Chain A
Amino acid sequence: MTRNTFTTRNLRKVYGEGPAAVHALRGVDLEIPEGEFVVLLGASGSGKSTLLNILGGLDRGSEGVVHFRDKELSAMSDTELTRYRRDHVGFVFQFYNLMPSLTARENVELVTEIARNPMDPGEALDLVGLANRADHFPAQLSGGEQQRVAIARAVAKQPDVLFCDEPTGALDSTTGRAVLHVLKDVNEKLGATVLIVTHAASQAAMADRVIRFGDGAVIEVTVNETKLTPEDIEW
């Protein structure tokens, strides 16, 4: 039996207080097995990004318990969370969030420098098909290329988990498919658990597991018996 990468019990998150309080998560119970390709679906404001932030160690829940493997994330100190992010987690953001003052290769090195078991930055860029653009600055790259650099940066540390928040949100279909392809490769070749947050329902077809989110809670979890390739999904 495969073990779970993440387990949450009654996870809640409230922003603000009093009458202005916003309940982003209203008691989430979830299990995500190791090595799966998981898609979190939901409308804007459904709480999926909040969940991703908490699982990624970027934010904390207001209530409830979160486990990463057998460690309790929700009980970790700031220093331990930093350690956790450094050693286990890769992030891909919707708006790429590259350092504008560093080249593609240097953006990757920013992460490999502090990782425990990183791959060669060149290799990581090769993986996303950008080996020939390694010395370009973000401003010299297209949106899709920037996102691929961001992925290379995230996978270069050989993370156990890869979090992607709307990774194709700002991309056209061709570029978007290429990016999804890279993510799939990372999942299959590196064995990393991949968690994608999106509101594009069609992308669910390529996942092992699809979690539908609504109003701060899990509505439905489905496991796909057959998966489509990025080329086959509708855009």
Chain B
Amino acid sequence: MSPLTKKLGRDLWRIKGQAIAIALVIAVGVLMQVMQTGLVASLDETRRAYYERYRLAEIFAPVARTPERLAADLRRIPGVSAVETRIVGHALLDMPGIDLPLQAQAVSLPDFREPRLNNVYLTDGRMFEGDRPDEVVILESFAKAHGLKPGDSLNVTMNGARRTFGIVGFAMSPEFLYSTAPGELVPDDDRFAVLWMSRTALEAAFDMDGAFNEALISLSRGTEPAEVISAADRLLDRFGGLGAYGLEDLQSDKFIAEEIDGLRRTTATVPPVFMAVAAFLLYIVISRMMQAEREEIGLMKAFGYTDWEVGAHYLQLILAIAVSGALFGGLMGIAAGRALVDVYLLYYKFPFLVFRLAPSSFVIGIGASVLAASAGGLFVLRGVFALTPAVAMRAAAPADYSKSLKFDGTLSGFLDQPTRMVLRRLTRQPVRMGGAIVGIAAGVALSAAMAAILASFDEMMELTFDVIDRSDVTVSFIHPIEARSLHDIETMTGVIEVEPVRIVPAILKNGRHTHRGAISGLVELPRPNRAVDADTRAIRLRQDGIILSASLARRLDIAPGDWLTVDVREGRRPEVRLPVIAVAESLMGSPAYMELLALNRALKEPLRVSGAYLRIDTAHAGEIYRALKHMPMVAGVAPKGDSRAAFQEITDRGAGATRYIMALVAGIITFGVIYNAARVAQAERARDLAGLRVLGFTRGEIAFVLLGELAVVTLLALPLGALGGYGLTFAISAGFSTDLYQLPASFGFSTFGQAMVVVVAAAVLSGWVVKRDIDRSDLVLALKTRE
């Protein structure tokens, strides 16, 4: 083995602490990149494979009631490859021991054959027998949430009639990856079930003999869905078609697509920021390390080693650190990606998983960090090459401090010599010190930004559940009912306030921008559930137009004063034009608000409501829930606490979950930077410090000289890091925001305080490690050998 190779190995061993810190900074950057892209690719691929294997329809065409013969007409639409018809209906479950009525969707499957489209995956038990209308297969996640087993019975109210079914099996379906009860924003396994039953059973329950109320359509390759949708709408119109829609508007798919898109957006914004910070740090650390090697470089040149040979030697050192860090990060990224995908698998209810590593991310991650490291090294080596090798011949000349701070006049009385050493060193090389400050500031910024992101999630919850929605319970009805029917609820014991709401599904259009959503009709000055402006003041709902949430207005590219086209997808399905009168703040969903009377007028209907917000005395909650369970018009009851918990779970386990990993990574990077800064300072000053010890300075005084510098650099980095963190927060929060929720960029004192704690802890720990080394170092040796 050549002596240079041995030198390389031993040098690496000597600087192992620093090398590990640098490699770790690189590793976490690459880890993020590989993990995130792997996650996106895996989820995307798994979803695609799942949809394909269980033949999920591409178009859903709900209708009031259509004779079965229309299926043949649908099949004849050009571009349609398969059609399946079915009956879906709303059901209420009465679970023993639970006061709340639970919502369910009943879905028919053909009696004696597999469905052509929207097949289900049986996870336990068996499929119902075609001639047994009392058997039911239920959604696995609901069954598990309630500890049900095949063989148990289930009380179901459908179309006003209560019946008992025997559970024979559990199933999953790509159609219900995410299952959200009607009128609720967030999926919750506990509170929503899907019941698969024989066609015969549901024909009987919903009075659909020889008819269907939903057609499922798949397309032949290359067919434009929009054309088929219009054709289906034309066919179904006279039977009460509610508007066919594509897969992308299926609620479950919308949700998961949004999650994957959110992850993809986070992947596109956050890891590059982390990698850039890591690369920058690497550059600073490596350049300082190379400075410390100047004498050895001079010596090798004196022996006749060429610039190229010397450069290659040091490049190997840098690459050894960078490549091992990047490889380690890559492997960890794969492991972390796999682990996370397993978590996601449970969460998204995929029956199988296609794990996919995006090889490009591996290459990009490793390439970028290695490049950054080499660039840092080369930049410094270039300066070193310009030196004549004579520097090696000279005993280390004292560094020239003549241009640094002078202490005369009043100051000199206050400053002792060690303090002057610290101050002079800081001012002698402002560029190098500036680099150290900026490096630590980058770490501070990253930590501060991630702390801000964690806080933003809390703020979003607070705004949504404490400021906007102050109700305790949301009740929704099977059909819009007359407003005066609310009287029955108002008079229940424990009900403090009841406020009606009318939610109408609608397609909002502005030019080529469309949004399929709903309009909430509220009273003029709502109290429990309000629209608020940017300063969280309640907005009074006027009768002369519609109010859009900020995210919706952005998506529709519309401003107050413009006219919006509303294509109502309920009742008579009118298309109306309304002026936008205000924009409201909302961090969750994309709501649109109208005054209740004005909405009903626009619908050309008498005053009807589809639900109500209740404020209740929680002591009577059980009583109220039991009473609601027995009201035939009630479709669902959603206590806010449950919704809040469900939402918290979404942000903690879905795309938002990566924020915890990112915060950890930010902490590691910050720590790595500060540790390196301390180590480099120590290496640069070992001889000076030993000299001081020889002169009789105590260990404490020596530590002051070295750590004083670190302390000043760290203190200067804090405000700079706060500024950087403020900027980063906006970039990262945009990356985390999804269609479902918008993350506010909230950068406050407390988040900066958290980052400061990380930084100060890192500084204290690094300082301690370095001081320990100084204390242990051999004085004479430090003076004799160059290092």
Contact = CB atoms under 8 A, between A and B. Distances in A.
B232 to A, nearest CB: 77
Contact of A99 (B299, B302, B394): B299
Contacts of A94: 395
B230 interface: no
Interface stretch (A2-10, A53-61, A186-194): A53-61
A86 interface: yes
Interface stretch (B203-211, B323-331, B385-393, B537-545): B385-393
B484 to A, nearest CB: 90
A79 B3 contact: no
Majority DSSP secondary structure for residues of B touching A: helix
B429 interface: no
20 contacts: A52-B393, A53-B390, A53-B393, A56-B302, A58-B301, A58-B389, A82-B305, A82-B306, A86-B305, A87-B304, A89-B304, A95-B395, A100-B785, A101-B6, A102-B6, A106-B3, A106-B7, A110-B3, A110-B303, A111-B304
B249 interface: no
Interface string B250-294: 000000000000000000000000000000000000000000000
A222 interface: no
Contact of B786 (A84, A89, A95): A95
A113 B3 contact: yes
B785 A102 contact: no
A79 B7 CA distance: 24
B10 interface: yes
A85 interface: yes
Given A102-B10, A113-B3, A79 B299 contact: no
B630 interface: no
B4 interface: yes
Interface in A21-58: 49, 52-53, 56, 58
A59 B6 contact: no
A165 interface: yes
* Smallest CB-CB A-B distances: 5 pairs: A86-B304, A101-B10, A85-B304, A59-B390, A58-B390
Interface residues of A, number: 37
Contacts of B14: 101
A165 B307 CA distance: 24
B393 A58 contact: yes
B393 A114 contact: no
Contact of A59 (B7, B388, B785): B388
B395 A82 contact: no
B392 A114 contact: no
Contacts of B11: 101
Contact of B306 (A79, A93, A111): A79
Contacts of A53: 388, 390, 393
B462 interface: no
Contacts of A85: 301-304, 389
Nearest to A78: B307
Nearest to A108: B3
A139 interface: yes
Contact of A102 (B7, B304, B390): B7
A97 interface: yes
B393 A93 contact: yes
B2 interface: yes
B389 A102 contact: no
A86 B306 CA distance: 9
A145 interface: no
Interface of B: 2-4, 6-7, 10-11, 14, 295-296, 299-307, 309, 388-390, 392-395, 781, 784-787
A107 B388 contact: no
Given A58-B302, A58-B388, A91-B303, A100 B3 contact: no
A85 B10 CA distance: 26
A47 to B, nearest CB: 13
Contacts of A115: 304
Contacts of B390: 53, 58-59
Contacts of B393: 49, 52-53, 56, 58, 91, 93, 165
A65 B787 CA distance: 36
A83 interface: yes
Nearest to A110: B3
A86 B781 CA distance: 31
A220 B4 CA distance: 43
Contacts of B299: 97, 99
A111 B303 contact: yes
B786 A114 contact: no
A113 B306 CA distance: 13
A141 to B, nearest CB: 11
Contacts of B394: 49
B10 A114 contact: no
A105 to B, nearest CB: 9
A83 B781 contact: no
Interface in A81-139: 82-87, 89, 91, 93-95, 97, 99-102, 106-107, 109-111, 113-115, 138-139
B634 to A, nearest CB: 79
A100 B300 CA distance: 13
A129 to B, nearest CB: 21
A107 B3 contact: yes
A93 to B, nearest CB: 6
A93 B392 contact: yes
B785 A138 contact: yes
Contact of A114 (B295, B303, B388, B781): B303
Contacts of B309: 114
A107 B10 CA distance: 13
Contacts of A95: 395, 786
Given A79-B306, A82-B301, 20 more contacts: A49-B393, A49-B394, A58-B302, A78-B307, A82-B305, A82-B306, A85-B302, A85-B303, A85-B304, A91-B303, A91-B393, A101-B6, A101-B7, A106-B7, A109-B3, A110-B300, A113-B2, A114-B309, A138-B785, A139-B785
Contacts of B3: 102, 106-107, 109-110, 113
Contacts of A138: 785
Nearest to B394: A49
